Amino acid sequence: MKRISVLGSTGSIGTQTLDVARIHKDVQVAALAVHNSIELLETQTREFMPRLVCVYDKDAAEDFKLRVRDLPVTVVSGMEGLIECALLEEIDLVVSAVVGMIGIKPVIEAIRAGKDIAFANKETLVSAGHLIMPLVKEKKVNFLPVDSEHSAIFQSLVGGGEVEKLILTASGGPFRGKKQSELTHVSVADALKHPNWSMGRKITIDSATMVNKGLEVMEASWLFGIPADRIEVVIHPQSIVHSAVEFVDGAVIAQLGIPDMKLPIQYALFYPERRKMQNGRLSLTEQKNLTFEKPVLSELPGLSLAYEAIQAGGSMPVVYNAANEYAVAEFLDNKISFTAIAARIADAMRAHRVIDRPSLSEILETEAWVREYLAVHKIGGLE
């Protein structure tokens, strides 16, 4: 029996994790955690009967307690509650599928307690990779990527061998090939129309700005111990080649498949075992053409700023990520234009003094500083 805790159970990865868990009778869902989507959480709780549930929002947690008072479930809230879900004694594996830096503390605590991690929260690794990866090594836990590109690289590395570079594919999102000047007036609805993947709102906007790929370069660098200058981003609009590894002898090994997150989720849950899956199958003969292009960095500030943040190092990736989280929320609230997202990130990065190897409290302080800074400085391309 595999006992899991799902942090972020009502999000896109969370619901698909439960879809996978539903099919495999040897998976037991012991804990669920959400921000405030208590309606769907109630349905999940009644189906999976976890022992512990966290509703991060304290008021929503009180409402939720009333909804499930007929069930033998303990309801907790806040950061302590989230950490409690990550530390539950009987669980083997924590699925970290919350959105944003909020995942840092629970992931660190879970690794300290020797839990395996199925990891779908790149913002955490971007901000605290230098704290998390040494801990993964020390505690000898499995740290299994769920992000489709990183799962593809992970799968391609199974055979071993010395790596020359990682090839990270990107669909290019809904605005592929467009110039920045054409994107000033795009709507939230336009930016949420991803051509291939169905995902949560934040990551879909990140795909449209290519910030997602910037975060993924940082994520891959931490996960696989490869410097960013040996990670090549390639635009591949069909999203069939999910990423690849080039080895020192020139062999390129890739993982291909239809775009479906259930595959990397299931692979992480049962690694190293592969299980039968009732999904759609890739037919190579039905692929009219698979194309690959170099990204034009001058038209992709979301991605080029990521390279600047990597170059600056220390706390700068924290700023890149935190400013993006802030600006994407503003864009989704119709407060700023689409192109202002990158302008906001650039503005915060310019104002930041880098801290080398920031501690956890320095990371959280830096994030708080970014929020204060952007709340006051309403400049940088705002419409």
- Residues in contact with Mg ion by the rule CB under 5 A: 147-149
> In the complex with Mg ion, which residue's Cβ is closer, 15 or 36?
15
> In the complex with Mg ion, which residue's Cβ is closer, 295 or 380?
295
Residue pair 346/379 in contact by the 8 Å Cβ criterion? no
Return the closest-CA partner of residue 96 out of 224, 8, 200, 12: 8
CA distances from 75 to 45, 97, 113, 328 (A): 11, 19, 21, 30
> In the complex with Mg ion, which residue's Cβ is closer, 77 or 96?
96
> In the complex with Mg ion, which residue's Cβ is closer, 123 or 147?
147
> In the complex with Mg ion, which residue's Cβ is closer, 51 or 176?
176
Ordered alpha helix ranges (H), the chain: 12-23, 38-48, 58-67, 78-87, 104-112, 122-139, 148-156, 188-191, 201-209, 211-224, 262-270, 301-312, 316-332, 340-351, 360-376
User: From the CB of 119, what's the least distance to Mg ion, in Å?
Assistant: 12
CA 19/CA 150 separation, integer angstroms = 21
User: From the CB of 265, what's the least distance to Mg ion, in Å?
Assistant: 13
CA 61/CA 337 separation, integer angstroms = 34
Instruction: Give the 3-state secondary structure of residue 290.
Output: coil
Residue 306: both structure tokens together: 């990521």
CA 96/CA 193 separation, integer angstroms = 25
> In the complex with Mg ion, which residue's Cβ is closer, 148 or 324?
148
Return the closest-CA partner of residue 100 out of 323, 355, 333: 323
User: From the CB of 252, what's the least distance to Mg ion, in Å?
Assistant: 19
Torsion angle in degrees (nearest 10) through CA of 60, 63, 69, 73: 0
User: From the CB of 50, what's the least distance to Mg ion, in Å?
Assistant: 27
- Number of helices followed by number of strands (H, E) in the chain: 15, 11
Strands 93-96 and 116-119, by their bridges, are: parallel
User: From the CB of 48, what's the least distance to Mg ion, in Å?
Assistant: 26
Residue pair 253/152 in contact by the 8 Å Cβ criterion? no
User: From the CB of 122, what's the least distance to Mg ion, in Å?
Assistant: 8
Residue 86: both structure tokens together: 């990550």
CA 329/CA 144 separation, integer angstroms = 28
User: From the CB of 251, what's the least distance to Mg ion, in Å?
Assistant: 24
User: From the CB of 147, what's the least distance to Mg ion, in Å?
Assistant: 4
> In the complex with Mg ion, which residue's Cβ is closer, 44 or 155?
155
Residue pair 221/228 in contact by the 8 Å Cβ criterion? yes
What pairs with residue 254 in β-bridges?
244
Q: Which residue is nearest to Mg ion (CB)?
A: 147
> In the complex with Mg ion, which residue's Cβ is closer, 148 or 209?
148
> In the complex with Mg ion, which residue's Cβ is closer, 105 or 213?
213
Residue written as token pair 């949560």: 200
> In the complex with Mg ion, which residue's Cβ is closer, 218 or 364?
218
User: From the CB of 80, what's the least distance to Mg ion, in Å?
Assistant: 30
User: From the CB of 43, what's the least distance to Mg ion, in Å?
Assistant: 27
